[in-house]
Amino acid sequence: MAAILTPATTGPHSTRLALPIAKPKIPLQRTHLVRCVHRPEISPFFHGAVGANRADWQSACAILSSKVATTSQNHQQTPQHHEAGDDTNHSLVPVVNGHGSAAAALDLVPVQLPQPLTIADLSPAPKHGSQLRVAYQGVPGAYSEAAAAKAYPNCDAIPCDQFEAAFQAVELWVADRAVLPVENSLGGSIHRNYDLLLRHRLHIVGEVQLPVHHCLLALPGVRKEQLTRVISHPQALSQCEHTLTAMGLNVAREAFDDTAGAAEYVALNGLQDTAAIASARAAELYGMQVLADGIQDDSGNVTRFVMLAREPIVPRVDRPFKTSIVFAAHDSEGTSVLFKVLSAFAFRDIGLTKIESRPHRQRPIRLEDEASSGGGGAAGTAKHFEYTFYVDFQASLAERRAQNALAEVQEFTSFLRVLGSYPMDMTPWSITSSSSNSSSSSSSSSPGSQQ
């Protein structure tokens, strides 16, 4: 993995991490932004590791992180730089608000080499809750920023233009944690993050559940009748689908990277015909009018986020813990594997809180002899999809019953990975303490206070 700085900031807010994917939005304002570039040869998938061993990986990350730190100090004239071995051939056009800009390309300056590590580079991460650097996807005012603040009060929240940039920020030691949404009570799973959890080697160290209270935002003075378009994060659009229809709005829905980014986009471009679905905090930050408040289809709309770190936490038994695993079936198990795995938990009275299946990327389709699959018809082969399963169960990895269940699961699976064993978020959901409020909310019993 390599991190490259490109000259861009995201308007009024701080440096934002970005991946080099050009998006067709209107370039608005020159910004400063760190770009993370994928390097396949060090990108882990399944059993692969970033380096040959953990030490390699950590030193690679430290060196790359020093490059990021060094370059970020000089971001006014930041270089564009293709790492040796980066065969992804990304455009070197600098990014403005996450978007390619030909004009900005003229600002390219020579590569800076990594600086030697110093004692300061090796100093430990700050204590949790005090200026912990927490990466999230979106711009200030996004629900993910509020989730980061709930998880780690007083943290230094680092905006990233994509989910993957948040993963990379932690891997490259630019951030200490990432806080990423995985599921919503109305919209369901955020599949992208399930896939990224598998592709990256970070550990889940906590979870935080955030009530999500959406507003319909427009420029000051704009009336609902003027609207032809509503833009937002796809999850937010789906969480408000029925309400938008019930409001009689005859508008096209368009997906945007994040809710607050959609509000910022409408504001910066002075779009009279476009509304954004975002938080009340985004309205304040970007000078938008709240046309309608609480437009989510269910007042108890909640998004669950996970906190990710480079190291796992030590599981405990003195408070409720949850453990997240991912596995794929062993070849010999055929289609019965899920039943067997679930039984391993049921026999030990371990409750499951979530199960998710995703296509098995390396082997999406399985061919099976009709004879072995029990078919009585003509000779032939049955085809079915192959899945990777994600399961969350209510037990700590420190518990014997959880260890025994996993030992049994391992017998049926070709691949099993513990994504993390972490305290459950037991804070009550209160609709009034909505994520639409300021990101600086603080609580002494924050879910992240121990991670």
Ligand X SMILES: O=C(O)C(=O)C[C@]1(C(=O)O)C=C[C@@H](O)C=C1
- For ligand X, which stretch binds (CB under 6 A), given 150-158, 256-264, 408-416, 437-445? 256-264
* Residue 143 is a binding residue for ligand X (CB under 6 A): yes
CB 214 within 8 A of CB 236: yes
Written as six digits, the tokens of 36 are 């993370």
Nearest to 198 by CA among 322, 29, 111, 326: 326
Please tell me the distance from the alpha carbon of residue 235 to that of residue 144, in angstroms, as a whole number.
12
CB 195 within 8 A of CB 298: no
Q: What is the dihedral of CA 32, 37, 42, 44, to 10 degrees?
A: 100
Please pick, among 10, 71, 243, 303, the residue that the annotation labels catalytic: 303
Select 64 or 215, whichever has its Cβ closest to ligand X: 215
Near ligand X in 228-247, by CB under 6 A: 233, 235-236
Select 253 or 340, whichever has its Cβ closest to ligand X: 253
Please tell me the distance from the alpha carbon of residue 335 to that of residue 55, in angstroms, as a whole number.
39
Single out the residue of 215, 260, 276, 419 in contact with ligand X (rule: CB under 6 A): 260
Confirm whether 305 is a catalytic residue: yes
Pattern of binders to ligand X over 145-184, x per CB under 6 A?
A: ------------------------------------x--x
Near ligand X in 280-299, by CB under 6 A: none
- For ligand X, which stretch binds (CB under 6 A), given 79-87, 103-111, 141-149, 415-423? 141-149
Determine the residue type at 285: L
Q: What is the dihedral of CA 435, 437, 442, 443, to 10 degrees?
A: -50
Q: Is 236 exposed, middle or buried (0-12, 13-18, 19+ CB in 10 A)?
A: buried
Please tell me the distance from the alpha carbon of residue 228 to that of residue 202, in angstroms, as a whole number.
42
Near ligand X in 385-444, by CB under 6 A: none
CB 129 within 8 A of CB 109: no
- For ligand X, which stretch binds (CB under 6 A), given 102-110, 254-262, 378-386, 415-423? 254-262
Please pick, among 163, 167, 305, 389, the residue that the annotation labels catalytic: 305
Confirm whether 381 is a catalytic residue: no
* Residue 142 is a binding residue for ligand X (CB under 6 A): yes
Near ligand X in 193-222, by CB under 6 A: 212
CA triple 403-317-445, angle to 5 deg: 135
- For ligand X, which stretch binds (CB under 6 A), given 83-91, 253-261, 354-362, 424-432? 253-261
Select 153 or 315, whichever has its Cβ closest to ligand X: 153
* Residue 258 is a binding residue for ligand X (CB under 6 A): yes
Single out the residue of 79, 94, 98, 138 in contact with ligand X (rule: CB under 6 A): 138
CB 137 within 8 A of CB 19: no
CB 1 within 8 A of CB 48: no
Residues labelled catalytic: 303, 305
Binding site for ligand X (CB under 6 A): 138, 142-144, 181, 184, 190, 212, 233, 235-236, 258-260, 303
